Chains A and B, each alone.
Chain A
Amino acid sequence: MTALLEVRGLNKRFGGVTAVVEAGFDLREGELLSIIGPNGAGKTTLFNLISGLDRPDSGSVRFLGEDVTGAAPERLAGLGLARTFQHGRVFGNLSVLDNVLVGAHTRLRAVRPVTPLIGPLLEFALAAIRPRAVRAEEAALREEAKQILARFGERLTPRLDHPAFSLSYANRRRTEIARALALRPKLLMLDEPTAGMNQTETAEMQEIIHDLKRSGLTILLIEHKLEMVMRLSDRVIVMDNGSRIAEGLPQDVRNDPAVIEAYLGHREAGAAQPSGAEAA
């Protein structure tokens, strides 16, 4: 069986700084792979290279068997790749519901015809005329968006019409994940989904990610909270200074001396949980 995502020999330098060195891994369908490592290890850069926000200097990325190295983010979204951002990038002036509906953008058919050349003009006309099919599609997506938001319990449902800038930090992250789910992704990339959340909120988020995994979704996760990584992950890759220093099952990685050295700085702290780890 071929992998859903194949990353081979990715390199990226920014000026004199090497951000990612020879990154490579396979991600199989339904798998949850975590990438961990100290701040500045190159995790987010790797995410950007895969999701099309940055071009690698060399190496290749294949998604669903297609070569998507350096492809535009729009194209990757169209193929079914959804990601969240480290610092939470919601559309501040849009309502929570609208944020989620933007997530469904690539799935719109009635209002966004794929006809070449005159596609944009048709889209314009359909937005103005709004035939029955367009209205039906919008209504169905609204329902679906509400259901997705209901995954987060009472956190977001009372705030559907609130502009996203008025949300708490944790709620913005939830909105981001809801937006990603609205794309119906084949691959979900989460960049520190629990950054800035307290223990209760983290536990809730862990439960949600666990549910998503159980439903068969393939997930690539960057996370600092090791306990969560250990519980959720099928495999873990550890990065430091742009390079992979370990890869394997959670329990193996956890006891790898090189990892303990790099990640925690000193051996004695091997069993401790760096619970307060924050965004890079």
Chain B
Amino acid sequence: MNASDLGAWFDYTVNGFVIGNIYALLAVGLALIYGVSNLVNFAHGSVYVVGAYIGWAAITYLGTPLPLTILCVVVACALVGIGIERLGLRPLHGSSRIAPLLSTIGIGLVLDQVVQLVFSPDPRAVPMQVPEWRIQLGGGTIGALDLLIAAIGLIAAGVLYFFLRFTKLGWAVRATAQDSDAAQQMGVDVNRVNMVVFAIASALSGISGLLVGMYYNQINPAMSFEATLKGIVSLIIGGLGNVPGAIGGSLILGLTESYGIALFGTSYRNLFAFVLLIVMLLFRPNGLFERGRRLPPEPLTGTFIARARPLHVPRWVMAAVIVFAALLPLTGNSYLLQVGANSALYAMLALSLTLVAGTVGQISLGHAALLAIGGYASGLLALDGGWPVAVAIPAAGLITAALGTALVFPAFRLTGHYVSIATLGIGEIVALVILNWTGLTHGAVGLGGIPPLEVLGVDLGSVEGTYWLSLAVLVLLALLQVRLLNSHLGRSWRAIRDDSVAARSYGVSGDRYKALAFAYGGFAAGISGAITAHVYSYINHETFNAPISILALTMVILGGLGNVTGAVLGATLLIALPEAFRMLAEYRILIYGLVLLLLIRFRPQGVMGTV
């Protein structure tokens, strides 16, 4: 190895530490929050974006010097953190453990959208407030910003250590983390502790956003999702709720990514992060720094199934609705039909998710990946394989069923939050494999020229054709799902959700029935993705992205988890209603976020009731 190689490796190492430090500022906050409130805060990355934009605004409009910029970010983000605790966590005390997690997802959506509406979705450059000099070291260099980031990381860790170890409030935080009920009994104001922890964590997250903005010289509202994920990966590597572990985990992740980029290129960077996540969840769910594979004592189980009786819809009403929907093309309103077809395609995804998340209780946050698999499978079979579309679509459903089940199978032993994090990671891995497996998927170019819908020579590419086909498939899938739910299979699924231990003691194997649920769910979602691909005629790795997973979850909760009618209703409402108020188009995702938040808080059983 010659000197310039060594220099490059030195630079990659420095880069890895810098990125690791930035992740650490995120992960420490996540660990603190998890410690006191058993919550994985999915709004964390959104606070990071808020921090980046507050910093940008302060420098741009007020011309603040660096210390003052940091102060602005700290104060603003701490306030946002307090708001998250007050709105997303405190009112949900006593509901299922997954409820606050879903609520932070909603808050994250809302924050992202507010930032986007205020500052526009375009990227901004954060003015560099650090001198541009670099020190030559060996063959590589270290810049002033690298040193600043390292210094801020160290100072934050030091201050945090001092706070937790030597201040009265820090003791209260640690006591709450050990046992919040006992702490409360001993006079600790747990709400205040949570509030302080959210403020600290959010301030750190905000600083992290500012530093990233300076480091890459660019910020945009969409970077929140990745920040949340990276923070969570670091957290899992270090062990949930383990603050020093989170720092270690962040540095490991930063270095892994940096070396990974050196060896394989930038597009693989996130793949490393998510593969690391899944490996950790499967083999060391307690983190690298703790012994044993036993999961922490269960605060995490408890599905988000509100105890309510579902609304009963008489058969004739259902039949009338189906007939009405089938006759809709007679109106000749092609815009209406387009919205209808879109609703039906989303409803298939919602059917899939309501089965997996509602009936079997596995809250999946990566469901859009099933659409992607279905879309690519059908598109590739038709394009590169030359299969007729009418054969490619059902085949894609079967492929998605098999592949989706196989991908999630290793995660079946996980429960509660871990399932959600694992499915999120698997979903991202699918998107990244699609991006990088150029030989099969055409990579970043995407799939173009996918043939239009066509069955036995009948062209269904028209708006009416698409609508009728989507509606017919939806009705068939919904009827099949109802039939399954009313059989012993449905009973077994619900038994696993309600108490997997008791279910196993009566011979109901968790693996087998979760696999069957994911297989059916994969089939329904795969068909939806396949039809979508033929309708769009072009898809790429970003067509079925993570926000679609969250949207599907909102639909399913809106309808009532596990409820087939509810899933269809939820999808139709969330797709059709924003269309009805077209002037609100740019507020659409904001509305989704608010709907999710309000539902979790006020009507967790949804419109139609959980089953």
* Residue ranges of A at the interface with B (Cβ–Cβ < 8 Å): 51-53, 72-74, 76-78, 82-83, 85, 89-94, 98, 101-103, 105-106, 108, 111-112, 120, 123-124, 127-128, 130, 134, 138, 163, 165, 179, 183
Contact = CB atoms under 8 A, between A and B. Distances in A.
Interface stretch (B82-90, B323-331, B490-498): B490-498
A77 B505 contact: yes
Interface in B521-562: none
Interface of B: 305, 307, 309, 480, 483-484, 487-492, 494-495, 497-499, 501-509, 512, 515-516, 519-520, 610-611
A128 B484 contact: yes
B498 A94 contact: yes
Contact of B503 (A92, A102, A108, A128): A102
B504 A74 contact: yes
B506 A102 contact: yes
Contact of A93 (B305, B480, B492): B305
B557 to A, nearest CB: 16
A92 B307 contact: yes
Given A124-B520, A165-B307, A53 B501 contact: yes
Given A98-B491, A163-B307, 14 more contacts: A74-B507, A91-B503, A92-B307, A93-B305, A93-B494, A94-B494, A105-B506, A120-B512, A123-B516, A127-B484, A128-B484, A128-B487, A138-B487, A138-B488
A138 B515 CA distance: 23
Contact of B505 (A53, A120, A138): A53
B523 to A, nearest CB: 10
A77 B506 CA distance: 5
Contacts of B516: 120, 123-124
A130 B487 contact: yes
B491 A102 contact: yes
Nearest to A176: B502
Contacts of A92: 307, 498-499
Contact of B480 (A73, A83, A111, A128): A128
A91 B495 contact: yes
Nearest to B491: A98
A248 to B, nearest CB: 30
B488 A91 contact: no
B223 to A, nearest CB: 40
Given A120-B512, A127-B487, A102 B501 contact: no
Contacts of A52: 505
A91 B495 CA distance: 6
A130 B480 CA distance: 12
A106 B507 contact: yes
B488 A111 contact: yes
A116 B501 CA distance: 24
A105 B492 CA distance: 8
A222 to B, nearest CB: 15
Lowest 10 A-B CB distances belong to which pairs?
A77-B507, A106-B507, A91-B498, A127-B489, A127-B487, A89-B502, A73-B504, A102-B495, A73-B505, A105-B507
Given A53-B501, A73-B505, A82-B506, A101 B307 contact: no
A172 to B, nearest CB: 11
A112 B519 CA distance: 17
Nearest to A141: B488
Contacts of A91: 494-495, 498-499, 502-503
A111 B483 CA distance: 14
A136 to B, nearest CB: 13
A74 B508 contact: yes
Contacts of A123: 489, 516
Nearest to B610: A93
The dominant DSSP class at the B interface is helix
User: Which among B305, B488, B504 has the highest number of chain A CB atoms within 10 Å?
Assistant: B488
Contacts of A94: 491, 494-495, 498
Contacts of B498: 90-94
A91 B520 CA distance: 23
A179 B491 contact: no
Contacts of A51: 505
B489 A124 contact: yes
Nearest to A102: B495
A91 B516 CA distance: 20
A128 B505 contact: no
B354 to A, nearest CB: 14
Given A77-B505, A91-B503, A120-B516, A102 B307 contact: no
Nearest to B494: A94
Given A91-B503, A93-B498, A105 B487 contact: no
Nearest to B481: A128
A92 B516 CA distance: 22
A130 B482 CA distance: 13
Contacts of B520: 124
Nearest to B499: A89
Contacts of B515: 120
Contacts of B487: 111, 127-128, 130, 134, 138
Nearest to A83: B505
Contacts of A89: 499, 501-502
A171 to B, nearest CB: 16
Contacts of A130: 483, 487
Contacts of B509: 74
5 contacts: A53-B504, A91-B498, A92-B499, A108-B488, A127-B490
A186 to B, nearest CB: 14
Contacts of A74: 504, 507-509
A82 B506 CA distance: 7
Contacts of A93: 305, 307, 494, 497-498, 610-611
Contacts of B484: 124, 127-128
A124 B481 CA distance: 11
B319 to A, nearest CB: 20
A137 B307 CA distance: 30
A207 B356 CA distance: 42
Contact of A106 (B490, B502, B506): B506
Contacts of A106: 506-507
Contacts of A78: 507
B504 A72 contact: yes
A179 B488 CA distance: 15
Contacts of A101: 488, 491
Contacts of B497: 93
A170 B515 CA distance: 35
Contacts of B610: 93
Contacts of A134: 487
Contacts of B490: 127
Nearest to A162: B309
A96 B611 CA distance: 15
A91 to B, nearest CB: 4
B29 to A, nearest CB: 30
A92 B494 CA distance: 10
A105 B480 CA distance: 22
B483 A128 contact: yes
A76 B509 CA distance: 12
Nearest to B611: A93
Nearest to B490: A127
A138 to B, nearest CB: 7
A22 B197 CA distance: 47
A82 B504 CA distance: 11
B512 A183 contact: no
A164 to B, nearest CB: 8
Nearest to B505: A73
A90 B309 CA distance: 17
Contacts of A120: 512, 515-516
Contact of A183 (B480, B503, B506): B506
A163 B308 CA distance: 9
Nearest to B488: A111
Nearest to A15: B292
A89 B501 CA distance: 9
A72 B519 CA distance: 24
B506 A127 contact: no
Contacts of A124: 484, 489, 516, 519-520
